[in-house]
Chain A
Amino acid sequence: MVRTRNRNDRRRSGLVISKRRFVASVTIPLLLYESLGIFVLGWAFVLMFFDYSPGRLGGPILGLGGSNPFVGLRNFVEMFSGDSVQATLFRTSLRNTIIFAVAVLPLNLAITLPLAWLLESIGNRFKSLYRTIYFLPVLTSSVGVALIWMSMYDPQAGWINAIIRAFGGTPVAWLSDPRAGFANVSIAMWAVIIAYLWQDYGYNMVIFIAALQGVPHELREAALIDGANSWQAFTRITLPLIRPTMLFVCVMTMLSSFQVFDVIQVMTNGGPNNQTQVLMLDIYKSAFRYQNMGWAAAESFVLFLVVMGVTLFQMRVLRTDWEY
């Protein structure tokens, strides 16, 4: 009895040691690697309080100080109250980013939810073909998407103006006319929004389809039998049941549209007259085109706060929904 317990103990302690060894052999390299991550984060945090450009020599530690002076909160003060070109561009970009995100979300839902619902309702072998095709743009590189749409938007030889001409309308310089607009949003912004939506709707569609498949058929059938029409069945039965998915889709769509970059950088590079200059593009240009990295770090921090705020807000809504 005593001997067995000893042996068990020994074996257990042997196990503990080998487990510890295993944990150590994983965590020690991991911690080393993650310390690089901490260093990066710390640097990002420090950078926004400096007027830093890698072209200047600066001080001895990371090139900070000297000709890259510490400026405290000046970057942030400048952003919201300055009249320099960077400050004006930042405010324009912030406004454009919000316009973009606010326009994309409802349009996306207005396209994806009905289409997903229709697709789910037809239920036959065409379904997977339809879904595959709707999904194609999601799989396509956004640079390719941007180039395809640029050729379609070409003011002279583009297809969109050709269609407008065929119907006797006035052609539009979609990507370069700063004066044209619709609903107080410039036409170039609408043009990039359409291209972005085109690439993106397949993604939310498949998520909605998955959610709709989870809605028990009997519930809907029962409602229909009770004399509800399809619309009532949809709004009263289906919609409440897929609400968590709805909210989730809202968060994800919002987040990715706040960080939009690829399509806009290729199609307009922010033009015309900065009407499609969004925050990520402004950060990229400040940091890498104009080497104004301290300023760009401060801008990214603001974008981070915005994104964080939206996420936290939506998570709160999500959580209350889960409880219910």
Chain B
Amino acid sequence: MKAKILALLIVLTLVLTACGSKGESAAPEGTIVLRFWVHTNNAFIAGYEAAIAAYEAEHPNVDIQLENFDYELYLQTLQTAMPAGEEADILQLFGTWTSQYYERLTPVPAEVMTVEQAQQTFYAAPIGGFIVDGVLYGMPQEFNMEYGGVLVNKTLYEAAGLTYPPQWRTMDDVIADAQALTQVDETGMMSVAGFHFACADPTAFSFLAGIKQRGGDYWNADHTAFTFNTPEARAQLQFMVDMVNAGVVDPVVFNDSTNFVIDAFFQGKVGIGYIGSWAIALGQTNYPDFADEWDYFYLPPIQGDPVFVADSGWGLTVSPNSQHQDIAWDFVRFVTANPEIAAQWNIASGTIPAMPAVAESPEIAAAMPWVPKALAILPYGEYLGNMPDRDLVVYEIIYPHVLNALQGVETVDQALQAIDTEANSTFR
């Protein structure tokens, strides 16, 4: 009896497997097939699919096949595929990563774009990471601005009797609004965070921007070591801790692992949510039923000019192992440097354009009303700087220790000391 059922199961299995593994239909003769790897983000993918369709319409003999990987696995996929020469022809690349494995990349051919042309075409922050030792290794698609942008829930604002749209001249105005927005349930647990800034990228980048705006720097003069234990860094971290003490957010209940800012905001649990504008598209996709009214604004600087640092965000490059380098680079140029296509991609993915010419265009302003608000700030963006391991520094060193300070697990001094020591130990 049992043996029969087992046999039945096995047969069923094999049938299922056979059904599941039917191969993709073969391309017609003469078609050049290019594989294209990106990380999983539905809004980005929609943008790429449109760009591919446009390119294929102009070049009927080219077939570009898009494959996507989870963000966490994407770097791993690239780094293990490259030594084996298994990677796709066209690769999506996060600009700041370039310095970590430019050894396995190929420079952008001069006829596609030279370093000088690139520096003139794109904002400084997006292009900075793609240049290692004066050589250009890829082309940026977005201004990856994690600093300054916030989602604001209009419904909660009006319920709290605050002026909308918000009139912020200083950070004190933001904090005052946030205090009015915060709600705590009868057991003392925060149910609505007035100003949720306790996620990884917002904490790290508001920390770094604050250092810059206060006139300090986290790099030494020749970019060979970090300097996190400075008066400016101390003032900034203390400022962030004071915001928590003012009751605008409970970093224990609101952080990266619970109530991540996009989820919490689109569930109505956040008044002002600090997050890059890329989150807008994601939130709209994931929470189509969210009924509250909201908009996207930029925070005032701590003091002086709104100086900030940014990663070189997502961009494209071509594998040195590709059989069709010329076509692949042509496609990359088409997607990244053709203003019309670039604008379409930025609108689909909800990202800020990497080219000033595109960022200032009316179609961008029409589709993404928050971009014009950012135009005044964008020129102040500096590139983050080439780090030995950017993710390690941002996600395992800066964010955890800043969060510790916010949660009161470490003092401000302990956190700064730890960030300084650990970040410098990444230089081997």
Contact = CB atoms under 8 A, between A and B. Distances in A.
Contact of A89 (B79, B396, B408): B396
B268 to A, nearest CB: 12
Interface stretch (B15-23, B329-337, B399-407): B399-407
B417 to A, nearest CB: 10
B257 interface: yes
A175 B392 contact: no
A200 interface: no
A245 interface: no
A108 interface: no
A55 B100 contact: yes
Contacts of B104: 55, 57
Nearest to B255: A176
A273 B404 contact: yes
Interface stretch (A79-87, A131-139, A236-244): A79-87
Most buried by B among A55, A165, A274: A55
A171 B409 contact: no
Given A179-B252, A290-B392, A291-B76, A171 B189 contact: yes
Contact of B408 (A82, A179, A290, A291): A179
Given A67-B103, A83-B425, A289 B258 contact: no
Contact of A88 (B83, B100, B408, B422): B422
Q: How large is the interface on B (under 10, 10 to 19, 20 to 34, 35 or more residues)?
A: 35 or more
B397 interface: yes
Most buried by B among A56, A176, A177: A176
Nearest to A157: B267
Nearest to B250: A173
Contact of B82 (A55, A87, A88, A170): A55
Nearest to B73: A288
Contacts of B78: 55
Interface in A236-260: none
B396 A288 contact: no
B175 to A, nearest CB: 23
Given A83-B421, A176-B257, A268-B257, A273 B428 contact: no
A175 B403 contact: no
5 contacts: A83-B421, A83-B425, A272-B257, A290-B391, A291-B79
Given A85-B422, A173-B189, 10 more contacts: A55-B79, A83-B422, A83-B425, A84-B425, A84-B426, A170-B189, A175-B257, A176-B258, A178-B407, A289-B75
